[in-house]
Structure 1
Amino acid sequence: MFNDSKHGFDAAQTEYEAFMLEPHDWVPNNRKLPVVIYRRALAPASGDLAAAFEILFERNTWPAQWRDGIFDFHHFHATAHEVLGVTAASAEVIVGGPGGRVVTLHAGDALLLPAGTGHCLQSFERHFQVVAGYPAGQQWDIRREALTPQELDAMLALPFPPLDPIDGKHGPVIEYWLPAL
């Protein structure tokens, strides 16, 4: 487990919850891998959370690719797993597609979305921002329609690094994702 209080990393303070989502209408979700919410992945008052998440994701082979908000329309990524680190404010995000589960995220939290998991920004505080990371070698897409059977098979076969994006060699990716493959 990686701890670096200088950057707000303290894996011992991080709590997480994992849950599975069933396919819903045109959103496949992921039948093999759970969604994971990391609470207090970084200490909210530890300084520049965007830079800290970028360092953390890079260290764990989930390099950050952008900083921004979350789209306010339902979509999913079929070609990459995604981790979102909340760097400012809070928001409610619908996970799983239209009519899905609403989760509240705060600065310092992270959301791990296996490929195929629908997500949409429902409401947010001013200045809400996330940093997004993806496994090295995976390029994200934006999907708003059902996958073909071949695309679904390719999505379910996507590899990912053997490290958890937050806790490195520990955490839910090691506990839940690796045994599922």
Structure 2
Amino acid sequence: MPILEDVKEYVQRATGAGRPGKKHAPDLARSRKPHTVRFKDDGLVPNHPRWPLVIYRSAVDLGKGRDPAAVMEDLLEANGWGDTWRDGIYDYMHYHSRIHEVLGIARGKGRLRFGGVKGRIFTLKAGDVAVLPAGTGHQCLSAEEDFLVVGAYPPVGTYDECTEVEDRPKALKTIPRVPAPRKDPVYGRQGQLLKLWKKPK
């Protein structure tokens, strides 16, 4: 599926077919209250010491006549979250220690565990968006065959992937240093994320 989606994305970006465009994509964001969850360090996955996982349910109108992945990409990119990718989510627990991540569900439904083995399981479906602060453990437990996620990252930070206990010492230092994003990936400067992820005074 990733190769097919890569081809589709290339053609869509070249032609504009199926894409709302970054100018109009923010109009497809539905006003939703954030669901927040904080996770403790579980011994393997540090999670974030201050900021919660944020889930927006049915936050994006994927509509008809547009490619849902393209809608997600244009919306996230319009709000400054880039390096987008289309794929599933790894079936093993992992986290990023030097960057935040957003996961927009473009198609299907999946059961995801956040926060490590002692974390919580959520079922996310098309139109849902999860925003993970650096350090948040995540993995896919099961998913429908057509499950497709669009992931993206804020402009500040460096992608890494941590899976082992040996990653912890460095991660514990880098996670709190990752700066808060300037925009909510779904709602831009008006989004609740900016209030939920405040810098320490």
Compute the displacement of 1:120 (Å). 0.7
**Worse-superposed segment, 113-122 or 7-16:** 7-16
Contact 1:13 1:40 in 2 (8 A): no
Contact 1:89 1:106 in 2 (8 A): yes
Larger Rg: 2
TM-score with structure 2 setting the length:
0.80
Aligned twin of 1:165: 185
2:82 to 58, 63, 78: 63
2:119 corresponds to 1:100: yes
2:175 to 132, 137, 155: 155
AA in 2 matched with 1:164:
D
Compute the displacement of 1:144 (Å). 0.5
Q: CA–CA distance in 1 between the matches of 2:73 and 2:85?
A: 9
Aligned twin of 2:140: 121
Unaligned runs of 5+ in 2: 1-21
**Worse-superposed segment, 55-64 or 39-48:** 39-48
Q: Secondary structure at the match of 2:34?
A: strand
1:8-157 equivalent positions in 2, closer than 5 A: 9-46=27-64, 47-146=66-165, 147-157=167-177
**Worse-superposed segment, 76-85 or 10-19:** 10-19
Q: Deviations over 1:113-149 (max 9, x none)?
A: 1111000101111110101110114232111123444
Aligned twin of 2:14: none
Q: CA–CA distance in 1 between the matches of 2:152 and 2:77?
A: 8
Compute the displacement of 1:79 (Å). 1.4
Contact 2:99 2:134 in 1 (8 A): yes
What fraction of aligned residue pairs are identical, expressed as a percent? 37
Matched positions, count: 178
Question: Closer, same or farther in 2 for the Cα pair 1:117/1:135, shift >3 Å?
Answer: same
Q: Secondary structure at the match of 1:13?
A: coil
What is the RMSD of the two structures over their aligned residues, measured on CA atoms? 2.1
Give the number of the structure whose residues are more often strand, by fraction.
1
Give the number of the structure whose residues are more often helix, by fraction.
2
AA in 1 matched with 2:152:
G
**Worse-superposed segment, 148-157 or 107-116:** 148-157
Contact 2:181 2:194 in 1 (8 A): no
Contact 1:8 1:52 in 2 (8 A): no
Unaligned runs of 5+ in 1: none
AA in 2 matched with 1:143:
C
